[in-house]
Amino acid sequence: MKKIILSAMMLTGMLTFAQDGKLTLSGSVDTYGTFNSESGGSTGILSDVPASGFGIGMANTVFSYAQGKSGFVADLSFGPRANAANVYRNGSVAGAINQLYAYYNITEKLTVTAGQFNTFYGYEVISPVSNFNYSVSHLFNAGPFSHTGGKLDYAASEDLSFMVAVTNPHTIDLGTNSTNKVQFGGQVGYKGQFLNVIYGSVDGTTDDEILIDFTGGFDITESFYLGINAAYQDDVYGGAALYLEAAVNEKFSLGLRPEYFDDTSVDGSGLFAATLTGNYSLTENLKTIAEVRYDEEDLSLSGDNDVALTIAAVYSF
């Protein structure tokens, strides 16, 4: 009974809060089964635990509120996928906060944002709802997931946009920065093609590191799309991936993601991966994703070539 009363009080508070503005709630849950030719493998599954057999991804709940020129987004995520997206090289976890930021529309074209927000860098994102594939690319794993700081977005026209950002180094704890190091970010977008640059410290100890990324794509026909992602970090990694997606009908789409990735800090460490994905919408909110993925690693990397079969269910609301 106490839980029912508390829930009613919370709902009443949310409705009262929303009277002068617009409060929206959205989110997703996902689960999967994956089977790898390599025992204990976890090929491509974004997870902080060995992703073999059956597993869960994350529960993602997004609260957003807008009133006049301002608003905020509170994106809360729980589960192994959310944990993996918030675990960085120092081994720390940023908790259940995926995004937490406020924004102000200075003009119709100029917006300032402050807080923690998902990266502008790269093709794929943390939430499986927004990705065609369920497994993620090596490029996604190598690049930043989120940033904490501020950014300024300017929409010059429907086709042309600019963004500048000042944030913490992306591999330290999100929400804190005990160093005096920062990163500078920039983006130029034109007709769906984006050039991204990050400059500064990655881990709070180094300086003058540069990350460059191109993300874009083209509609080859009404039913066939070609996505492109290429990225490079000086003396760390480089690679490229293609995203070929064909809509067979209104419910079913087929895609192929070939990728080459090279750890440039290690000689002869290039690898090739290819992912064949079928994406089927059972309902407006529920889709199933079936994948066959092949990863071919050079001998200089740990592990052998791996073939993985994954079937996932993603529900969004």
Give the tens place of pLDDT for each residue, 128-146. 999 999 999 999 999 899 9
HEC sequence for 26-62:
EEEEEEEEEEECCCCCCCCCCCCCCCCEEEEEEEEEE
β-bridge partners, 31: 56, 313
d(Cα 7, Cα 317) in Å, to the nearest integer?
20
Q: What is the pLDDT of residue 188?
A: 98
Q: What is the pLDDT of residue 207?
A: 83
Q: What is the pLDDT of residue 77?
A: 92
Query: Domain 2-316, what fold?
Result: Porin (2.40.160)
Q: What is the pLDDT of residue 239?
A: 95
Q: What is the pLDDT of residue 172?
A: 78
Whole-prediction pTM value?
0.86
Q: What is the pLDDT of residue 306?
A: 84
Decide: 104 and 69 in contact? Cβ < 8 Å: yes
What are the pLDDT tens digits along the chain (317 aa)?
434 333 333 333 444 444 568 999 999 999 999 998 875 566 789 888 878 889 999 999 999 999 999 999 999 999 999 888 876 444 455 458 899 999 999 999 999 999 999 999 999 999 999 999 999 999 999 989 999 999 999 999 999 999 999 999 988 766 678 788 999 999 999 999 999 999 998 888 888 899 999 999 999 999 999 999 999 998 889 999 999 999 999 999 999 999 999 987 666 568 899 999 999 999 999 999 999 999 987 633 444 578 899 999 999 99
- N residues, the chain: 317
**Backbone Cα Rg of the chain:** 20
Token duo for residue 115: 């807080």
3-state SS assignment for residue 219: strand
Domain spans, the chain: 2-316
